[in-house]
């Protein structure tokens, strides 16, 4: 069974007899994308809500022509499904004692009429919660069709998609097939895996599903069972029969937690990408060379396979900047980076070393093949213009072929070996420049000592 309630913008009921003040708040709400149902009298608003007008939040003025705000609150709480609806009192009285009485009387919060901007934090929290919930997909693992239907109906006001399955095996298949924001698990399930077993299977995974929020529920409200579910990694626990308002509140909190975690992960991944990426060319930068380069050296030493390090420098690049400007020079660098990317293998490491200089690490490329690869790279840049300009490149390469007898090296050897290989390649590049540019110079080395 799948339920999918169409999303709609959040809705606010505004009850205020002051026409001018009501217009100010209405505009504030409308600017935030909220549907506003405005009324001048409390009885009118109560009848509308009893007749089907929906609301995620109610704003009510203290004094109304037909009743006081506290009476609106009392009658509102008596309506089906409105017992926990947030109700904010709007008043011109800033007396702290009156404010405390209002909060003790059941109002969610109290806002001063002369500071409508203080409504924005409440409003934006509502919008955030509403938007997150509307996009959420929930997996309900419940073997009772009646209970599954009841739970899905209770979640319908959140405008979430609920996918229901009857056992743990089907749940695991669904989780592998599509993304979910929350799993609701009945503790007692048929089949080899109980709800506790399903929870353990999730928490033992090595992917993102290991941290997917889980709400466990059961008709057996035993402390030992509840504690064991929590110890195994359940984020929350409810007892059947489930109160619909409490279920929605807990589900909303868990979905927001998951979405926030995903957002933090995305931001961290983007920061990590930016930290190792050259902004101009999109290639890796020196930081990634320092990090991955040592691993390339360590692997070559461990396997005995050759490793070639190349340094490439665009010829007469300063003249391009001087004659055509730095913007054109940047275009040339981007084009050169793209041309080089087309010539390297998937496991080669290509980085922008700095300025117009690039570094390239080529695992398993030995002395027999390095000259031909260096020539291919040189020719690839010279064969046609870069950003409309004829450009050549000089290449220096150092081929490292570890000796057959390789002793265990001290910690730090790989970093020092990489430094030496880059230095030898740079010296070869200098020779290529000195001998006329637009050429490649190759040297080989077997013994690298820290």
Say if strands 87-91 and 109-112 run parallel, antiparallel, or are unpaired. parallel
Residue with tokens 């209970």: 147
The answer to whether residues 173 and 163 touch, using CB atoms and an 8 Å cutoff, is: no
Smallest CA-to-CA distance from 397 within 418, 422, 376 is with 422
Phi first, then psi, for residue 328 (nearest 5°) are: -70, -35
Sign of CA dihedral 274, 277, 281, 282: negative
Is 26 one of the annotated active-site residues of the chain?
Answer: no
The span from the CA of 21 to the CA of 116, in Å, is: 9
Which own/partner contact pairs does 122-127 have at CB distance under 8 Å and 24+ positions apart?
A: 122/57, 122/86, 122/88, 123/12, 123/28, 123/29, 123/32, 123/34, 123/57, 124/32, 126/10, 126/12, 126/34, 126/56, 126/57, 127/10, 127/32, 127/33, 127/34
Which of 2, 44, 31 lies closest to 13, judged by CA? 44
H helices then E strands: how many in the chain? 15, 16
| 395 close to 429: Cβ distance less than 8 angstroms | yes
Q: Nearest Cα to 278, choosing from 334, 328, 327, 341? A: 334
Catalytic residue among 356, 411, 427, 443: 356
> Phi and psi (nearest 5°) for 316?
55, 40
3-class SS of residue 230? helix
CA 380 to chain CA mean position, Å: 38
**Which residues, in sequence order, are bridge partners of residue 272?**
none
Q: In 215-369, where does DSSP find H-type helix?
A: 223-231, 244-276, 286-303, 317-324, 326-341
C-alpha span between 93 and 99 (Å, rounded): 8
What is the 8-class DSSP label of residue 63?
B
Kindly state the tokens that stand for 436.
């006329």
Active site amino acids: 356
């Amino acid at each position: 069974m799948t339920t999918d309630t169409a999303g709609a913008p959040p809705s606010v009921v505004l009850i205020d007899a002051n026409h001018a003040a009501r217009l100010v708040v209405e505009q504030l709400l409308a600017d935030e994308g909220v549907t506003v149902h405005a009324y001048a009298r409390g009885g009118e608003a109560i009848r509308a809500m009893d007749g089907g007008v929906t609301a995620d939040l109610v704003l009510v003025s203290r004094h109304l022509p037909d009743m006081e705000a506290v009476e609106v609150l009392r009658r509102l709480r008596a309506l089906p499904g409105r017992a926990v609806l947030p109700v904010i009192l709007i008043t011109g009285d800033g007396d702290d004692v009156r404010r405390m009485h209002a909060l003790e009387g059941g109002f969610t919060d109290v806002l001063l009429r002369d500071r409508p901007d203080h409504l924005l934090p409440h409003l934006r929290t509502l919008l955030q919660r509403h938007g997150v919930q509307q996009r959420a997909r929930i997996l309900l693992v419940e073997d009772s069709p009646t209970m599954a239907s009841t739970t899905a109906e209770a979640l319908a006001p959140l405008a979430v998609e609920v996918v229901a399955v009857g056992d743990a095996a089907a749940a695991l298949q669904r989780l592998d097939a599509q993304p979910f924001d929350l799993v609701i698990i009945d503790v007692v399930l048929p089949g080899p895996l109980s709800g506790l077993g399903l929870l353990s299977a999730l928490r033992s995974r090595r992917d993102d599903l290991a941290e997917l929020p889980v709400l466990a529920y059961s008709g057996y409200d035993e402390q030992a069972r509840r504690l064991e579910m929590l110890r195994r990694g359940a984020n929350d626990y409810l007892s059947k029969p489930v109160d619909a308002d409490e279920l929605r509140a807990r589900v909303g909190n868990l979905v927001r937690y998951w979405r926030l975690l995903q957002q933090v992960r995305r931001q961290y991944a983007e920061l990590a990408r930016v930290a190792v990426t050259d902004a101009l060319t999109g290639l890796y930068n020196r930081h990634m060379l320092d990090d991955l380069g040592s691993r390339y050296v360590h692997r070559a030493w461990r396997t005995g396979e050759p490793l070639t390090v190349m340094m490439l420098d665009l010829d007469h690049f300063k003249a391009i900047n001087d004659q055509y400007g730095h913007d054109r020079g940047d275009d040339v660098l981007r084009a050169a980076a793209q041309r080089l990317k087309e010539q390297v293998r998937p496991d080669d490491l290509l980085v922008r070393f700095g300025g117009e200089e690039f570094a390239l690490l080529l695992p398993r490329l030995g002395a027999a093949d390095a000259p031909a690869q260096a020539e291919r790279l040189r020719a690839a840049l010279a064969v046609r213009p870069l950003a409309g300009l004829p450009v050549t490149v000089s290449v220096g390469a150092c081929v490292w072929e570890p000796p057959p007898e390789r002793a265990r090296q001290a910690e730090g050897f790989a970093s020092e070996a990489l430094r030496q290989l880059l230095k030898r390649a740079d010296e070869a590049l200098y020779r290529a420049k000195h001998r006329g540019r637009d050429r490649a110079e190759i040297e080989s080395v077997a013994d690298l000592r820290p």
